[in-house]
Structure 1
Amino acid sequence: MYHDPEIYALEQERIFKGKAWNILCLEAEIPNPGDFQICHVGDTPVVVNRDEDGKVYAFVNRCAHRGAEIVREPRGNGTDHTCIYHAWCYSRKGELTGVPFRRGANGKGGMPASFEPKQHNLQTLKVESFKGCLFGSFDHDIEPLEEYLGPLMVDHVGGLLDKPIKILGYQRQRIKANWKLYPENIKDAYHGSLLHEFNRTFGLSRLTQVAGGYMDEKHRHSILFQFSGSDSDEVALRAYREAGVQRGELMKLNDYDMVRIIPENDKGMSTRVINLFPNGFFHQIANTLAMRKLRTLGVDEFELTWTLFGYEDDTPEMTEHRLNQANMVGPAGLISMEDGEALELVHRTTKTAQNEYAVIEMGGVGPIGDRDTRVNEVTVRGFWAYYSQLMGIAPEGAEQ
């Protein structure tokens, strides 16, 4: 499942170009008419831009003439988009508006009389916004976005985006592993305080805390959460030692403000890590907030873009606090750096074991459902259940 190029090609058609809403960007990244940003849906390059009417449009970033990439800057502002190769020009809606020398030069050459520009517009995506987060789909008959998200995601993602946001910065990371290992990792509640010593040392995430892993009714989206302070250092130390895992008693911080949590959400959760199938992720780790987008790069690599954000009404002190805590995430984060390494270890060593199987039974087998514990991989099973339906490989009798 991680290494077969034929499976990867099928994923592009049935998942990323199929009945899925893919995160494109945040509206705060393109606030003004003419603003644009490039992104990817799977491995397909896409341009997202705001027109004069304030509406957002998205189209495939590939010229209808000879297939060249049209927009090459990561973001900017413009009245139209012109391909560098032969200067074919497109509107912000992806409509072909100009073909140089369409009628030839000096009475010779040019396009045939039957050429109709409207027949050569760029391929567009259906675009909808939820709380300022822009989603796109190649399936123009897909269910409405809020139905796709479901009540659980509307509640939690909506809570994170319930106020006007401001962009604080970006990080980008490439991981040499199959893309599916990342949603697996995000849905894997079990590894958080085993792989991440920082988490368990400073009490951000421990298997001894009040925590859980919940899914939407189709098991495609998930949220992992916990409540810091719902255990004690003594209880955690004893539990981890009894399990054969040593806490990092020697790990200290010169500035403990990095792990200080300022209450700001009505649920009281100290950490929320959310996966929106197939390419989107949100996190609230203490007070650092971010959206993550996944771009596929073949069977052996994927790219993450981390968009760090805060709120427009944050004080300068709160913005500084969020940025300080952002040192925990991203490619060099005190927590997140270990995920990339773990996924590369899995991908590298499973290449020689392609007919063997992983064991995903933590939290129990049987019906797929929510668990009020992070000693749990059932949310990973939920991912594979929905994935197998879209791919047409669900075995007979499998839970839908």
Structure 2
Amino acid sequence: MHVQPSCETAVVAPPVSLRWPKEGAARVPYKVFSDAGIYALEQQKIFRGPVWHYLCLETEVNKPGDIRTTWIGETPIIVTRDEEGRLHGMVNRCAHKGALVCLKNKDNKKSLTCVYHAWNYNLDGRLRGVAFRNGVRGKGGMPEDFDLSQHRLQPIRTEVMAGIVFGTFSDEAPPLEEYLGDRTTAFLKRNMDHPLKVLGTHSQIIHNNWKLYAENVRDSYHATLLHTFYTTFKVNRLDMDGGIILSDRKWHHISYSKRATLEASAEYMQAQVHSAQYGSELDGPELLKAWDGFDDQITHSIQTIFPTLVIQLTLNSLAVRFFVPRGVDKTELYWVFLGYEGDTPEQEKMRVMQGNLTGAAGLVALEDGCINAFVQRGTHGSDDKASFIEMGGKTAESNESSRATEAAVRGFWHGYKEIMGFEQ
């Protein structure tokens, strides 16, 4: 049995004192990465605010009775599919004493039962029975006015888009498609709106504030410099044709490149990226063989959906990443590697092999777990300082001719500052 990590009871956020630098999203106060009051306020403003959050894949709750546990911020969540095929999202907290009701990552049951006092719930979260409700031998039990219908698992709103189940606590969150915007929705459907098959999953703890990872996946130009495997073997480089697309609200982004369109010479890149080993060869070159899955020639893309969802396509390796705050300086990063139900055995084998590029011990993504911790450590104790984010300009705008920009990073902070209510 997999027991989920403990989750401390949420507390009211202490007063927060922060005035954002006058440069706006081109500056980020280091205080936001280490201040406990800001972290607590995020749980209210973002994770329980008018924001849609990744819960799970629809294929993980495909059959009646399927159960999937997940998180919105620090709050544990249950997603179920009932006997009529309807999806439900609810807080994983018994209405009696507040204990976790579901302890496994995945399960299939006809009802939900808390192990503490055996309160039993329908798959939609309605209370259906209480052990010893009438006492024993006519003594004890619940009072006469006890009403099952007044006690249930706390529901949340859910919507499904392109095989992904999203949830929100807020009645004020707009409909999901409006929240995402047209271009974000279209690209999400490009990659995900197919019958999906889970090929493998894992998670890792990274020792940094969750927002540093949100920055990292929006930073399109560090990949050429930090991930020298990408540069050496021409998987994803800045001299490939590509671009950055921001949603209308700037909160979400798409970064893409096309391996077939290298624009600069190897000598140019070698001058820019000293650590890349351009003469290197793979013992297993089949790792980087790929087939054209789409007509647009895009071979690498990172799509983010504010605040904590990433969809990655590297050659033919399709994966969902979502990250969960585990404290002011700790984040759990989950990876779900995917294929399509229509894949041939050879295609599935290639997807699995290319999954070795990313993940906790991947040939590429290994560096991100380190570099974000370096930033966490380097900014600690410097609450009066701020980062400088002006690569590609000072605004958050799409750029479909260059990825040498931090526009998507500025877009994240534009949304963050807006929803948190921080004034300049």
TM-score, scaled relative to structure 2: 0.90
* SS at 1:57 equivalent: strand
Q: 1:261 aligns with which of 290, 311, 334?
A: 290
Give the 3 Å change call, closer, same or farther, for CA 10–110 of structure 1 in structure 2: same
> Equivalents in 2 of 1:61, 1:323: separation in Å?
33
Q: 1:43 aligns with which of 67, 74, 77?
A: 74
Other-structure match for 2:397? 369
Other-structure match for 1:247? 276
Other-structure match for 2:410? 381
Structure 1 unaligned regions, length at least 5: 396-400
Deviations 1:356-399 (A, max 9, x none): 1111110111x32012211110110110011111101142xxxx
| One-letter amino acid matched to 1:228 | R
* SS at 1:227 equivalent: strand
Kindly indicate whether residue 86 of structure 2 is the aligned counterpart of residue 55 of structure 1. Answer: yes
Q: 2:155 aligns with which of 83, 104, 124?
A: 124
What's the CA shift for 1:236? Answer: 4.3
Other-structure match for 1:25? 56
Q: Any conservation in 1 of the 2:158–2:166 contact (CA below 8 Å)?
A: yes
> Equivalents in 2 of 1:285, 1:122: separation in Å?
39
Q: Any conservation in 2 of the 1:227–1:269 contact (CA below 8 Å)?
A: yes
| One-letter amino acid matched to 1:390 | I
* SS at 1:320 equivalent: helix
Other-structure match for 2:110? 79
Q: Any conservation in 2 of the 1:203–1:229 contact (CA below 8 Å)?
A: no
Alignment map for 1:167-316 (pairs within 5 Å) = 167-231=198-262, 235-243=264-272, 245-316=274-345
Greater CA drift, 327-336 or 91-100: 91-100
Greater CA drift, 46-55 or 203-212: 203-212
Q: Any conservation in 2 of the 1:237–1:247 contact (CA below 8 Å)?
A: no
Alignment map for 1:311-330 (pairs within 5 Å) = 311-330=340-359
Q: 2:97 aligns with which of 55, 66, 69?
A: 66
What's the CA shift for 1:125? Answer: 1.0
| One-letter amino acid matched to 1:13 | Q
Alignment map for 1:352-367 (pairs within 5 Å) = 352-365=381-394, 367=395
> Equivalents in 2 of 1:86, 1:304: separation in Å?
33
Deviations 1:267-317 (A, max 9, x none): 211101011111211011000001111111011111111111111110000
> Equivalents in 2 of 1:227, 1:368: separation in Å?
23
What's the CA shift for 1:115? Answer: 2.2
Q: Any conservation in 2 of the 1:385–1:394 contact (CA below 8 Å)?
A: no
| One-letter amino acid matched to 1:289 | L
> Equivalents in 1 of 2:299, 2:311: separation in Å?
14
What's the CA shift for 1:83? Answer: 0.7
User: What is the Cα-based RMSD across aligned positions, in Å?
Assistant: 1.3
| One-letter amino acid matched to 1:98 | G
| One-letter amino acid matched to 1:383 | F
Q: 1:342 aligns with which of 352, 365, 371?
A: 371
| One-letter amino acid matched to 1:242 | A
Q: Any conservation in 2 of the 1:175–1:301 contact (CA below 8 Å)?
A: yes
Q: Any conservation in 2 of the 1:206–1:236 contact (CA below 8 Å)?
A: no
* SS at 2:235 equivalent: coil
| One-letter amino acid matched to 2:338 | F
What's the CA shift for 1:162? Answer: 2.7
* SS at 2:180 equivalent: helix
Q: Any conservation in 1 of the 2:233–2:278 contact (CA below 8 Å)?
A: no
Q: Which has the higher contact order (CA 8 A, sep 6+)?
A: 2
Q: Any conservation in 1 of the 2:224–2:273 contact (CA below 8 Å)?
A: no
Q: Any conservation in 1 of the 2:202–2:335 contact (CA below 8 Å)?
A: yes
> Equivalents in 2 of 1:112, 1:394: separation in Å?
52
| Identical pairs, percent | 38
| One-letter amino acid matched to 2:355 | A
Q: Any conservation in 2 of the 1:3–1:299 contact (CA below 8 Å)?
A: yes
How many pairs were matched up? 392
> Equivalents in 2 of 1:242, 1:195: separation in Å?
15
> Equivalents in 2 of 1:201, 1:207: separation in Å?
12
> Equivalents in 2 of 1:260, 1:43: separation in Å?
40
Greater CA drift, 125-134 or 327-336: 125-134
Greater CA drift, 239-248 or 267-276: 239-248
| One-letter amino acid matched to 2:337 | L
Structure 2 unaligned regions, length at least 5: 1-31
What's the CA shift for 1:108? Answer: 2.3
| One-letter amino acid matched to 1:188 | D
> Equivalents in 1 of 2:308, 2:148: separation in Å?
33
Deviations 1:50-102 (A, max 9, x none): 00111110110011111111100110100111111111111111111111112
| One-letter amino acid matched to 2:414 | A
Give the 3 Å change call, closer, same or farther, for CA 199–35 of structure 1 in structure 2: same
Other-structure match for 1:398? none
> Equivalents in 2 of 1:28, 1:131: separation in Å?
11
Kindly indicate whether residue 165 of structure 2 is the aligned counterpart of residue 140 of structure 1. Answer: no
| One-letter amino acid matched to 1:298 | G
Q: Any conservation in 1 of the 2:232–2:276 contact (CA below 8 Å)?
A: yes
State the 4+ residue runs in structure 1 displaced beyond 4 angstroms. none
> Equivalents in 1 of 2:193, 2:69: separation in Å?
25
